[in-house]
Copies of this chain bind each other. A is one copy, B any other.
Amino acid sequence: MPTDTWWNLSDEKRERITHAAMVEFGNRGFSAGSLNVIAREAGIAKGSLFQYFDDKLDMFASICDATSAVIREATLTDVDAEHNPFFDTLRTIVHNWLEFFESHPVERGIAFAAGNEVDPEAGAAVRSVTSQRFAQALRPLAKGAEARGELRPGVDTDHVVAMVVLLLRHLDKAPYYPHIDPVLGLDQKEPGDVERIALELVDALQRAYGAP
Binding site for B on A (CB under 8 A): 27-32, 112-113, 115-120, 123-124, 127-128, 131-132, 135, 139, 152, 156, 158-159, 161-163, 165-167, 170, 177-184, 197, 200-201, 204-205, 207-209
6 more A-B contacts (CB under 8 A) besides A29-B119, A159-B197, A166-B166? A29-B118, A132-B179, A156-B200, A158-B184, A159-B204, A163-B204
Q: How far is the CB of A50 from chain B (nearest CB, A)?
A: 11
Contact of A131 among B116, B118, B180, B208 (CB under 8 A): B180
Q: How far is the CB of A131 from chain B (nearest CB, A)?
A: 4
Most buried by B among A27, A163, A181: A163
Q: How far is the CB of A29 from chain B (nearest CB, A)?
A: 3
User: When the two chains form their complex, are residues A163 and B119 in contact, meaning their CB atoms are under 8 A apart?
Assistant: no
Q: How many copies does the complex hold?
A: 4
User: When the two chains form their complex, are residues B113 and A118 in contact, meaning their CB atoms are under 8 A apart?
Assistant: yes
Q: How far is the CB of A202 from chain B (nearest CB, A)?
A: 10
User: When the two chains form their complex, are residues A166 and B159 in contact, meaning their CB atoms are under 8 A apart?
Assistant: no
Contact of A27 among B32, B120, B165, B182 (CB under 8 A): B120
Which B residues are in CB contact (< 8 Å) with A197? 159
Contact of A163 among B165, B182, B201 (CB under 8 A): B201
Contact of A183 among B158, B204, B207 (CB under 8 A): B158
User: When the two chains form their complex, are residues B128 and A178 in contact, meaning their CB atoms are under 8 A apart?
Assistant: yes
Q: How far is the CB of A44 from chain B (nearest CB, A)?
A: 15
User: When the two chains form their complex, are residues B117 and A116 in contact, meaning their CB atoms are under 8 A apart?
Assistant: yes
Which B residues are in CB contact (< 8 Å) with A200? 156, 159
4 tightest A-B CB contacts, nearest first: A29-B118, A127-B179, A208-B208, A204-B208
User: When the two chains form their complex, are residues A165 and B183 in contact, meaning their CB atoms are under 8 A apart?
Assistant: yes
Q: A31-B32, A118-B113 are in contact. Are A181 and B162 (CB under 8 A)?
A: yes
